[in-house]
């Protein structure tokens, strides 16, 4: 049994809890969400993201892609028939009408979890967040939902340091197509290994920064200095 709290645990009570909930708002969603809590306290407590913001009809892929790069356990709300609540809500919502695609939502959670349990464990579970990486070429996905027009980056990313001092860059792609991005950050300028979590989990070592990397559809990658 563990002790968990809804919303981030404050600093005074941090030692009393093993897990907390932090509801994220992805880039392009609105407002100006800054992952300050993750930056300060990620290595001190397990953070889960079963709820949070994200536009329809891609609410769950978007939210869990962002959960993934911020080092949160991905998650979703299950409704009475066993399907997922893919609504844009900070808490609960009506079960009908259904929106989104459960297969895409589950695939996003699967790939995030595979990276988190595998090569990303030292970063996404035990790591300390670092200043954001310098990247170029991230596409923006635009669509109309009712009277609202959404403009959301296809790739979310965050930089991490493992307990043994290694640097890792995590990127997640919530879209239905592979996405390419250019690495321009000097911190990853030399020998790197790229772990790709898509249909399968693979690793490729590059003698120098590959400059352009591909993130699988509903997948994520970890770029770490070797």
| pLDDT value of residue 141 | 97
pLDDT by 10s per residue, the chain, length 226: 888 888 899 999 999 999 999 999 999 997 788 999 999 999 999 999 988 899 999 999 999 999 999 999 999 999 999 999 999 987 788 899 999 999 999 999 999 999 999 999 999 999 999 999 999 999 999 999 988 999 999 999 999 999 999 999 999 999 999 999 999 998 888 888 999 999 999 999 987 667 889 999 999 999 998 6
The number of beta carbons lying within 10 Å of the beta carbon of residue 89 is 16
What pLDDT does residue 32 have?
83
- Whether cis (ω within 30° of 0) applies to the bond prior to 97 is yes
The pLDDT value recorded for residue 143 is 97
The length of the chain is: 226
Residue 11, helix vs strand vs coil: helix
Domain 4-225 has CATH 2.60.40.1180: yes
- Residues ≥6 apart with Cβ < 8 Å to 145: 55, 56, 57
pLDDT for position 209? 66
Query: How far lies 197's CA from each of 133, 193, 222, in Å?
Result: 20, 13, 8
Pairwise CA distance, residues 199 & 101, whole Å: 17
Q: Tokens representing 79?
A: 């409704």
């Amino acid at each position: 049994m563990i002790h968990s709290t809804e919303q981030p645990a404050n600093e005074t009570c941090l030692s009393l809890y093993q897990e907390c909930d932090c509801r994220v708002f992805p880039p392009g969603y609105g407002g100006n969400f800054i992952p300050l809590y993750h930056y300060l306290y990620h290595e001190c407590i397990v953070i889960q993201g079963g709820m949070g913001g994200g536009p329809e009809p891609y609410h769950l892929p978007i939210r869990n892609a962002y959960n993934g790069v911020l080092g949160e356990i991905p998650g979703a709300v299950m409704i009475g028939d066993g399907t997922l609540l893919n609504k844009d809500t900070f808490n609960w919502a009506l079960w009908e009408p259904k929106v989104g695609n459960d297969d895409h939502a589950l695939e996003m959670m699967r790939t995030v979890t595979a990276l988190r349990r595998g090569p990303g464990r030292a970063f996404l579970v035990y790591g300390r967040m670092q200043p954001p990486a310098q990247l170029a070429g991230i596409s923006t996905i635009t669509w109309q939902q009712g009277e609202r027009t959404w403009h959301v980056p296809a790739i979310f990313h965050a930089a991490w340091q493992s307990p043994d001092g290694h640097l890792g860059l995590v990127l997640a792609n919530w879209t239905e197509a592979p996405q390419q991005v250019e690495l321009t950050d000097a911190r990853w300028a030399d020998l790197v290994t790229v772990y790709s979590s898509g249909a399968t989990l693979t690793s490729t070592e590059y003698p120098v920064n590959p400059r352009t990397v591909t993130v699988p559809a509903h997948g994520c990658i970890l770029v770490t200095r070797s």
